[in-house]
A and B are shown apart, each in its own frame.
Chain A
Amino acid sequence: MIGGGLLALMIILALAAPLYAGDPLNMDPFKRLQPPSTEMWFGSDNLGRDVFARAVFGARISLIVGLTSAAGAALGALLIGVLAGYSCGFDSIVMRVMDGLMSIPTVLLAIALISLTGPGVGILIFAITIVQLPSVTRLVRSVVMSVRERPYVEAAICGGARLPKVLLRHILPSTIPALMVQSAIVCADAIMTEAGLSFLGAGVPPEIPSWGNMIANSRLYLAIAPMTIFAPGICLAVMVLAVNLLGDGLRDLFDPRAKRRR
């Protein structure tokens, strides 16, 4: 559970950012592109802003986008997947819609949505959630389809259980392990997508520090001030790694065979 620990640490650091990091928006034209010092740990960028503070505050955006998109996709998939897995009529309609959604590239949909409404964190999360929804829904649906044939589900029906009870008590719990693992993968993917979109200028608004737009702003100054790119880059890599490790850990936890091997 290294991933979980690392992620928890990053969440704490991001939440506590105002307590120890400086103002990420404070510009100082006399201290542009400074190398790391005791005053500014990661140096300063082309507008004289504290790269450390910006990196710490940037974690907030990554975490918000990653966690909410994963949670949104998981909840949506649970609702749609359970119903689609149980009802054939609903299934044939919804899964065709999902197939359609699957064929749209994430970045394209996000750019299209943002050009409609203007940049914003909410619309970014919405776009990523929508694009991630089909794969998670397919997963939940397939688990439901295999579980609903099990004799204990039939036994519950014979016992006179109503449909909501059958779904909630006997079918839904079996989907949770796979769903948790898939959510971690979606979360890592969402963090990467957010960084990519912000790098392109189609993500979060420029006034909010994000790892993606930090890298984008600093790419011209790589030779003079390498920390301006390395700091957000490394942060991004570590966070995605942490989330992926968490996903692996969850998979091992839920998979009885993997547990026995350890």
Chain B
Amino acid sequence: MSGPLLKVENLTKHYPLGAGFLKKTIPVVRAVADVSFSVAAGETLCIVGESGCGKSTVARLLMRLVKPTSGRVLIDETDIAVLKAHELRAWRRRMQMVFQDPYSSLNPRLTAGQIITEPVENWERLSRKQRKALAAELLRKVGMSPQMMDRLPSELSGGQRQRLGIARALALNPSLIIADEAVSALDVSVQAQILNLLLDLQQQIGIAFIFISHDLSVVEHIGHRVAVMYLGRIVELAACEALFANPVHPYTEALIAAAPVPDPTRVRLEAPVQGEVPSPINPPSGCAFHPRCPHAVNRCRIDVPRLVPMADGRAVACHVRAPDTDFPAQPSATATRSLTAG
């Protein structure tokens, strides 16, 4: 297949805080700001970051469960970000989602078979026999016994439920599955089973994944490329091995250094980054990471860094590590004001 499966350009989502009827400016949460990436067929793109950095919002924007404030989501040159609800239906077949919580993402009143065949029945009528055959096939694909199809979700374990979630996503034969923290609610042993299932599916059907996680060991295991997000922005986008071997952005560095390593002899470095994640309601000026960054220079406080492509194919948004020579610093009005005030 030529060209990327999915292309995301400058995706932005602001959530207004409260309804501003007379007030001119409403405070907004900048959940996702100016995010761009693409996914090729059969590829796994991982999105990592701390809680609240906008990972899940990206997933919900891609599925159009929420409408983006601006930006484009392109599948085959069609921008699904601006489609109306009924036009969107056709595109939903191409992308499916696996949800984080295997308990609340399955309707407790429907049986396993009903849950996993429902997407197909949204498009075509199935006879009882066809439905049973489809349910059995889907269950077998995710490594479950077809006898499970009459069970209610409450009668299944967490791992089995998440397998159902994956079976439901597979039902429409999508070319891309978005997995939003799909294994973080599961035990470690079950996590491994589900991850291996996803890898097997990718090898068999050539499905592409956008895998959203905060767990770096999971990401290292399954990712081809990794996007690191901080406060709604992508700060580094690189091939998986390159990112873990040689992180460029100071935040990526800190994130990898903070991840536990199963080696008791290794001496942990002092945490390289201090402080809390700032609020996305009133993010720091310039680079959102500068208040916590040990390498911050003046420009970081003024200018939002652009994602700059580097020699080895990665892209980094950092004035210090990846200086952006094409664009001279353009201090924004708010940034200068906060500088003179401080």
Q: Which residues of A approach B to under 8 Å, CB–CB?
A: 150-152, 154-163, 165, 169-170, 173-174
Q: Are B122 and A155 in contact (CB under 8 A)?
A: no
Closest to A161 in B: B122
Contacts A151-B99, A151-B101: A158 and B63 contacting too (C-beta < 8 A)? yes
Residue among A154, A156, A159, A165 having the largest count of chain B Cβ atoms under 10 Å: A159
How many Å lie between the Cα of A54 and that of B135 in the bound state? Answer: 60
Q: Are B122 and A160 in contact (CB under 8 A)?
A: yes
Q: Residue B131 at the A interface, CB < 8 A? A: no
Q: Are A158 and B92 in contact (CB under 8 A)?
A: yes
Q: Residue B123 at the A interface, CB < 8 A? A: yes
Which of B85, B89, B168, B172 contacts A155 (CB under 8 A)?
B168
Smallest Cβ distance from B177 to chain A, in angstroms? Answer: 11
Interface stretch, picked from B69-77, B105-113, B142-150, B333-341, is B105-113
Smallest Cβ distance from B297 to chain A, in angstroms? Answer: 43
Q: Are A160 and B104 in contact (CB under 8 A)?
A: no
25 pairs of residues in contact across A and B, judged by CB atoms under 8 Å: A150-B105, A151-B100, A151-B104, A152-B107, A154-B99, A154-B105, A156-B107, A156-B118, A158-B65, A158-B92, A159-B92, A159-B96, A159-B118, A159-B119, A159-B171, A160-B89, A160-B92, A160-B119, A160-B123, A160-B172, A161-B119, A161-B122, A162-B89, A163-B85, A174-B109
Contacts A150-B104, A170-B107: A155 and B97 contacting too (C-beta < 8 A)? yes
Q: Residue B93 at the A interface, CB < 8 A? A: yes
Closest to A156 in B: B118
How many Å lie between the Cα of A160 and that of B104 in the bound state? Answer: 19
How many Å lie between the Cα of A170 and that of B107 in the bound state? Answer: 7
Smallest Cβ distance from A146 to chain B, in angstroms? Answer: 12
Closest to A147 in B: B107
| Residues of chain B contacted by A158 (CB below 8 angstroms) | 63, 65, 92, 96-97
Q: Are A152 and B118 in contact (CB under 8 A)?
A: no
Smallest Cβ distance from A219 to chain B, in angstroms? Answer: 51
Smallest Cβ distance from A196 to chain B, in angstroms? Answer: 40
Q: Which residues of B approach A to under 8 Å, CB–CB?
A: 63, 65, 85, 89, 92-93, 96-97, 99-101, 104-110, 118-119, 122-123, 165, 168, 171-172
How many Å lie between the Cα of A158 and that of B176 in the bound state? Answer: 13
Q: Looking at chain B's contact residues, is the secondary structure mostly helix, strand, loop, or mixed?
A: loop
Residue among B63, B85, B104, B107 having the largest count of chain A Cβ atoms under 10 Å: B107
Extra contacts, 14 of them, besides A155-B99, A158-B63 (Cβ < 8 A), are A151-B104, A154-B97, A154-B99, A155-B97, A155-B105, A158-B92, A158-B97, A159-B96, A159-B122, A160-B93, A160-B119, A160-B122, A160-B172, A169-B110
| Residues of chain A contacted by B105 (CB below 8 angstroms) | 150-152, 154-155
Closest to A173 in B: B109
Smallest Cβ distance from A224 to chain B, in angstroms? Answer: 59
Smallest Cβ distance from A179 to chain B, in angstroms? Answer: 15
| Residues of chain A contacted by B123 (CB below 8 angstroms) | 160
How many Å lie between the Cα of A160 and that of B92 in the bound state? Answer: 6
- Across the A-B interface, the 4 shortest Cβ-Cβ residue pairs: A159-B119, A151-B105, A160-B122, A152-B107
Contacts A151-B99, A152-B104, A173-B109: A157 and B122 contacting too (C-beta < 8 A)? no
How many Å lie between the Cα of A161 and that of B115 in the bound state? Answer: 12
Q: Are A154 and B65 in contact (CB under 8 A)?
A: yes
Closest to B153 in A: A152
Smallest Cβ distance from B98 to chain A, in angstroms? Answer: 9
How many Å lie between the Cα of A149 and that of B101 in the bound state? Answer: 13
Closest to B93 in A: A160
Q: Are B101 and A159 in contact (CB under 8 A)?
A: no
| Residues of chain A contacted by B106 (CB below 8 angstroms) | 152, 155
How many Å lie between the Cα of A180 and that of B89 in the bound state? Answer: 35
Smallest Cβ distance from B71 to chain A, in angstroms? Answer: 20
